[in-house]
A and B are shown apart, each in its own frame.
Chain A
């Protein structure tokens, strides 16, 4: 007997998502939410959407989970070989160009928006936005995913050039938290990855530790149980 299929068992895995990357003085910070959905069901509430490409370059993935994974797997494979031949760490621009080539040459098949960010000694911290279609743009900061719609106004006002690492990290966490507050396809925890000359640092900002916004309330024991 076949199990009944419903919309949410058949729907493709999609990372509704909010992703972003910000360049600061000395490196970059990548940030993402952690929700993966199949239709309306949350298939994974603690996904890691920030994927490593090389020691010094990372990738934020959004859109179709499968498409973004396949692109990141190929690019990691290419860069692995490239680094061996080159004899030193590959540049962020090279990583971005490879991601762009895959996105552009396969634009009719792929549905994934990507952000490549990292640090190299030639350009310092760099952020490259590669949206649907395969356009590649170097930007001081980039956002992506369905949750990014809610951040245009906020970042128009809140982003400033030449931020320190602390300021940039606070901005990333607050932005993703705001997007999670309004976008049903984004949720869970906020993961951040800092990449600079010294190396890489991963941070985990738990969902219940994120700032609360309009109409959200802090957890407390049930009013019916209060003595």
Chain B
């Protein structure tokens, strides 16, 4: 590969510096010259509001060389709005075939007002086309316009793909892609727009297959799902399939914070949609606890698993003021479950020695005390001390924390003996 990328940094692609021969230096200077010319051309035409197909091609070239040049993405948007895409139906001239070089800057609901260094003297924009045209009022020009828009929007999505493959974390490309997708909602029939967004979900899945823990991709996925669920795309809740998706991702790789996190976020809605009664909720909790216990059984060193287990424990213990899985549990139920979980965690100590196990035992014992609104009993206190001592050996970097905790127990003992009952449990 002889090419060197010009322009700003390319995310994650290292710039290798190596000795260049005279020949290579000349070649590079030539490339830089070509790039500069291209850039000057585009900026010139943009400043003149020359929105022609030729200029559009120039932006394609420039963006391929430097996808991070966000001004040029904005120029491209303006090119689309000002002529390549059809005009909105309400009242304006349906001149879809030709397009003018004068600024007609119709307002869209996209958020690139920041880009305009021109077209301040625009005629008042006609009313934005309502989202999700149903097509019933479409005259021949209208449906032709939609077909054209469809082709252009699909083509634009395709344009971003090779750029994304090379620079998968470039915000500007993603931003443009999202803008195009929003255009789809506004300009195309609901069913057509919906299909495009469904394909987008497929893309998000593909990305997550390549990099299961890319939290940008998870965030993107959530956004896409949100759109698909929205009335604008005639959608309904996707809590079930998304929950199933997290199961799939977890099975592929247990160590997936984002998948476990997504899962936890979906649960309240899921249970509501299922209209789960108390029995169903209990069964659901049992299943989740079983799942995470199986996972911890093979991955006790994995923090993401412990986070999820904590999440489930907090469901049992800290249930005032927020939705929980089993709101109808009695105090007795909760205590039973917490005790059972503590026993389950202790079983791990038969074969494992990871510090996260001891930390969990500490936390859960304190949760139990919190739940029962009491201090640790003598037996529990003895256990706590043993676990703390163990942690001081395994995790000496945090000895300060462990010492603090032990002091607090020591403190509590002193205070208790002095009859102070308002001692808060220090975590």
| Co-complex (A, B) | no
A interface vs B, CB < 8 Å? none
B interface vs A, CB < 8 Å? none
